[in-house]
Amino acid sequence: MQRRAVAVYVAVFLVVGGAAGTLVATADTPEVSFEDPDFERSAGETFEHAGQTYSVTEVTEKTESGGHGGGASHFMLGTIKWNVTAEASASWSNGSTVTYDGEEWTVVIEGEDPSEVTLREQIDKTAILQNDSSADNETVTSDGEEYVVVRDENGDKTLVPSDEYFPAPEERTFAEGDSLEYDGNDATIDDVTTSEAVLVWETTENREVELKQGDTVTFGETTYVAHFPDKETLVLSSDQEAYQAQLDQIDTFQEYVTGLRRIAAILTMGALTLIGLAFVPSRY
């Protein structure tokens, strides 16, 4: 009777454990999917959002080795690039020296309510004097006036006012709204005050973002979650609630599978234990 009872219990354990194992083996693991994602692109394809064009430059599987002898991990990575037009500016302070058109100029702003800025050429007086064998290499000041000492063929000296000796500096004047090439950019004189002139121009900035599974990125005012349905495609969806709900469903399924595996293991071990006990000799 004892062995018959054991046989019945073993049979029940094996049937229930086998059913649990069958459920684990035949259950379909849920996966994240979007029926109508906002964007679904492969490497080399583009998409637009709020008038801005974005380019998916790479969708690839990456391998990351584990530290301290750990196993390598594999993950998908998508790269998105785009260009952003931004406004840049520069200021020319009144009286300062600026470089323009490959030369140095003095910034001159005159008047109480100016609308123009003048660039006055800086004359290299030292170089001019050194190239003139009849003139001393340095100017002199007399009664507050600057002069150049010029000698004739007899060595007689003559004081020539600097304004007469040196060439008149070139001047270039720009009004508010005028365009000019500045530092390789098409700039505009945006505003002129008594203290400075402000130049503005547009510049292009290159931006890039790398996304893993579940990462989020915000374009404009919309936040998207990244998903990789395969090794060649990047999906961006603004439905983050649906994505989280599917993750929760997957977690629940994993807990369900783990529970069934434990049941199958416990019942199998129980059956083996009962079989072993059935063959233990009785003392009575």
Angle at 28 between CA 25 and CA 32, to 5 degrees: 145
Note the pTM of the prediction, 2 decimals. 0.56
- Mean pLDDT, the chain, integer: 81
Which of 114 and 152 is assigned the larger pLDDT?
Answer: 114
216-219 sheet: strands from edge to edge: 39-42, 233-237, 222-227, 216-219
Q: Is the pLDDT of residue 236 over 90?
A: yes
Contacts for 95 with CB less than 8 Å, ≥ 6 apart: 106, 107, 108
Residue 12 has pLDDT above 90, yes or no: no
Quick check: 13 pLDDT over 50? no
Q: Is the pLDDT of residue 143 over 90?
A: no
Is the pLDDT reported for residue 126 higher than 90?
Answer: no
